[in-house]
Amino acid sequence: MKKIGLLLSFLFFQVSIVYGQEDALVFFQDKENVATALENPISILTQKAIDRKLLHNTPIDVRDVPVNESYIATIKDISGITVFAKSKWMNCVYVRGDLQSLEALEGLDFVSDVEFADKSLNLGPIIGNPTEDKFQIEKQSNKIVYDYGAATNQVEMIAANYLHQQDFTGVGIDIAVLDSGFPGVLTNPAFESILNQGRLLGTYNFITRDEPIDTSSSHGSKTFSDIGGYLEGQFVGTAPGASFYLYVTEDVTQENPVEEAWWVEALERADSLGVSLVNTSLGYQDYDNPAYTHSYEDLDGFTTIAARGANHAFDKGMLLLTSAGNDGQSFGYVATPADAPGCLSIGAVDQDGIYAGFSSYGPNASGLRKPDVMAQGVSAAVVDQNGAVDFNSGTSFSSPIMAGAIASLWQSRPEATNAQIMQIVRASAHLFENPTDLMGYGIPNFETAYNALQILGAQTDFLEIQFAMYPNPAQDIISFNIPSAIEKAQVCVFTVSGQQVISSKITPNQNTVDISGVASGVYIAKVVSGTIKNSFKLIKK
């Protein structure tokens, strides 16, 4: 036993030499002025955030109240401890310091718990290989020459172009893009319309604690382009009409769980500003200090800092999209926060919709289906920091392609909740009935998702006052939801030139119309009952 004790002491001494300090979350007992803040929510949230929460019936609660700054100040004043980030949702701060000082924090009357990033406090061998560069695949530029419209394949694969044809491009949807850096954004022609129209709502670097976001990494500029980029005749992102916040949460010089804490802090800021949708082309599993590395068991959707933050964000009404990861041929499983049930995790396929071998797979450690859905991540078109169209591979690009499509979809019915949007997108995917560990529910079809969203809540108040038509496109039969107070209605179908081709009555018991005798093409279907009228664009297959 003495030899074992000496060995452990030696190993701990070695670890102290190599790393010197520990990282930890410090949780607080309470918050100040909670009742006052909740009675006057404008004091802690913007009006846009309050409006979004009211629209979706999202509660404003103690989690929205800021962390007690006096507690943070007390910890900052302790010699040898540095505070890097804070989380109001979890009521904690992320700190770094020597083990003895961190353990002493538990003696403070306002501290409820200290949770170390090193689950075993380094009592074991920690010598490992250098941390793998998680952007390695995505830095490989595939110089493929495309004709006009380099983004055509990745947009049409998920039918996001159908949303744009319906004039839904993300207008009115605020998106936060969390990444490693956005150099060139203010001068890049792909973002000129966003800047000119005042749709870049804010920027912040959570690492340096200031607004400039021009870091050495252009990863964020590229992922941003897949959502909001626009170069006439060359490239269109999937939500060219949306508005944006750009946040730097990734430090490319290190791999450390403090980046998870910065990420959660950015989510909290986004929520307070009324952001609806977040794209994160980042993931965490392997760290420079192997003692901090997440095991597969940690990736259960509830354990890591990022997963906990993601679930709070989802509960607060935001929809989070996250890259599944590029570890399909190494660690294998999705990283965090992609493991969280509060994230819609996006894997990668090639140009033909075939699973990309590098794309991380599921399930997570608790058996949850991951990834959720797929988009093009092999030779995906991007706009680089200098405004040139390029092609890169990685789930970092499949996620923003999907994020923009969802923003455009959500614009069509902004009152829908994040959970409803998430499930409709899953249900539209081609493997929904037979999901797999590699591809989740498969590749969504946003034309299908759009049609499903328009008739969402057939048993709710939404359709108590208006008609809805489905399916669309249709082959032989179209059906109508009829408001409960209506006994009958008249359906007329016209060509786009105004020629009537069908006139039929519908009732709650006979709510279908036969269109089998109509030629394939685009029509206008009008439904009239008294003062209630609805018109629909009908596509006959």
Q: What is the mean pLDDT of the chain?
A: 88
Contact 15, 36 (CB under 8 A): no
pLDDT per position as a tens digit, 260-276: 999 999 999 999 999 99
pLDDT per position as a tens digit, 400-418: 999 999 999 999 999 899 9
Q: What is the model's pLDDT at position 435?
A: 95
Please name which of 365, 444, 522 lies closest in space to residue 159, comparing C-alpha atoms: 444
> Cα(136)–Cα(124) distance, rounded to whole angstroms?
30
Tell me the helices (H) and strands (E) count for the chain, helix number first.
Answer: 14, 22
Checking if the pLDDT of 425 tops 70, the result is yes
Checking if the pLDDT of 88 tops 90, the result is yes
The pLDDT > 90 percentage for the chain reads 71
Q: What SS3 state is found at 491?
A: strand
Please name which of 540, 410, 519 lies closest in space to residue 52, comparing C-alpha atoms: 410
Q: What SS3 state is found at 374?
A: strand
Q: What is the model's pLDDT at position 65?
A: 96
Contacts 24+ apart (CB under 8 A), 479-482: 479/511, 479/512, 479/513, 480/506, 480/511, 480/512, 480/513, 480/527, 481/455, 481/511, 482/506, 482/507, 482/508, 482/511
Checking if the pLDDT of 45 tops 80, the result is yes
The residue among 314 and 123 whose pLDDT is bigger is 314
The residue among 123 and 83 whose pLDDT is bigger is 83
Checking if the pLDDT of 492 tops 70, the result is yes
Largest Cα–Cα separation, the chain: 95
Contact residues for 54 (Cβ-Cβ < 8 A; gap 6+):
none
Contact 536, 478 (CB under 8 A): no
> Cα(57)–Cα(419) distance, rounded to whole angstroms?
12
Cis before residue 189, ω within 30 degrees of 0?
A: no
Checking if the pLDDT of 141 tops 70, the result is no
Looking at residue 352, its amino acid is D
Please name which of 378, 371, 340 lies closest in space to residue 435, comparing C-alpha atoms: 371
Q: Residue 507, CB half-sphere, CA atoms under 13 Å: how many?
A: 3
Checking if the pLDDT of 129 tops 70, the result is no
pLDDT per position as a tens digit, 433-451: 999 999 999 999 999 999 9
pLDDT per position as a tens digit, 224-255: 999 999 999 999 999 999 999 999 999 999 99
Contact residues for 249 (Cβ-Cβ < 8 A; gap 6+):
178, 179, 206, 207, 259, 262, 263, 265, 266, 282
Average confidence (pLDDT) over 297-306: 96
Domains of the chain, first to last: 2-31+66-116 (3.30.70.80), 152-454 (3.40.50.200), 461-540 (2.60.40.3080)
Checking if the pLDDT of 214 tops 70, the result is yes
Q: Which two tokens stand for residue 284?
A: 């965490």
Q: What is the model's pLDDT at position 477?
A: 87
Q: What SS3 state is found at 71?
A: helix
Checking if the pLDDT of 71 tops 90, the result is yes
Contact 409, 168 (CB under 8 A): yes
pLDDT per position as a tens digit, 179-195: 999 999 999 999 999 99
**Dihedral of alpha carbons 413, 414, 420, 423, sign:** positive
